Amino acid sequence: MYEILVRLDQSDSVLFIPDEHQQSNTKKLSIVIPAYNEEKTVVSILARVARVHLLNDIGKEITIVNDRSKDSTHQKITEYIQNNPEMNIRYFVHEVNKGKGAAIHSGIAFASRDYLIIQDADLEYDPREYNTLLKPVVEEHADVCLRHPIYRWQTSSHPFPLAFHR
């Protein structure tokens, strides 16, 4: 494992820890995790993401964007990365708080994007549902799947999450 600190511009910094074991011909799910003051949940969500086995052996790439948390979120994330060197984690820290939308935008910009999921760090969404979201896209029934916390999956009238095809 090695670390590279790269200066993007005056407002952002990057810590990138590449996965040396990832095969280049494997499709990847980019999991973007915006985080702000998530010291109580960030380790738990990372552990849950790590435990998920994706269909078709799709690989995982985790991109965490810390939107300048004021609590110990940064320490929790860096400690998790150090204790889990086998994980493919990219970690970005905004130098100033820019808001959740900017954190998501930053994460998407650095994601490889075979497939992409936004995962809140506060446990609002369950990583065990990733395969439910991926299935219609992987099987080419949809180009995009959206998950809303109010709607439930697998109803008789809607076999997929909110799925859209061109």
78 near 91, Cβ under 8 Å? yes
Q: Determine, yes or no, domain membership for 86.
A: yes
Q: Determine, yes or no, domain membership for 159.
A: no
Residues 69, 70, 72, 74: what is their CA dihedral angle, to the nearest 10 degrees? 30
Question: Which two tokens mark 125?
Answer: 């969404």
Q: What is the CATH number of the domain that holds 21?
A: 3.90.550.10
Q: Determine, yes or no, domain membership for 83.
A: yes
Q: Which of 38, 25, 11 is nearest to 96 (CA)?
A: 11
Q: Kindly report, residue by residue over 43-83, the tens digit of the pLDDT.
A: 999 999 999 999 999 999 999 999 999 999 999 999 999 99
Q: Determine, yes or no, domain membership for 156.
A: no
Q: Kindly report, residue by residue over 132-163, the tens digit of the pLDDT.
A: 999 999 999 888 887 766 655 443 344 445 55
Q: Determine, yes or no, domain membership for 157.
A: no
The count of structural domains within the chain is 1
Give the domain extent around 64.
4-125
Amino acid at 74: H
State how far the alpha carbon of 5 is from the alpha carbons of 40, 68, 84, 153, in Å: 26, 17, 19, 41
Q: Determine, yes or no, domain membership for 11.
A: yes
Q: How confident is the model at residue 113 (pLDDT cuts 50, 70, 90)?
A: confident
For residues 15 and 4, what is the distance between their CA atoms, to the nearest angstrom?
A: 6
Looking up tokens 């300048």, which residue turns up?
Answer: 68
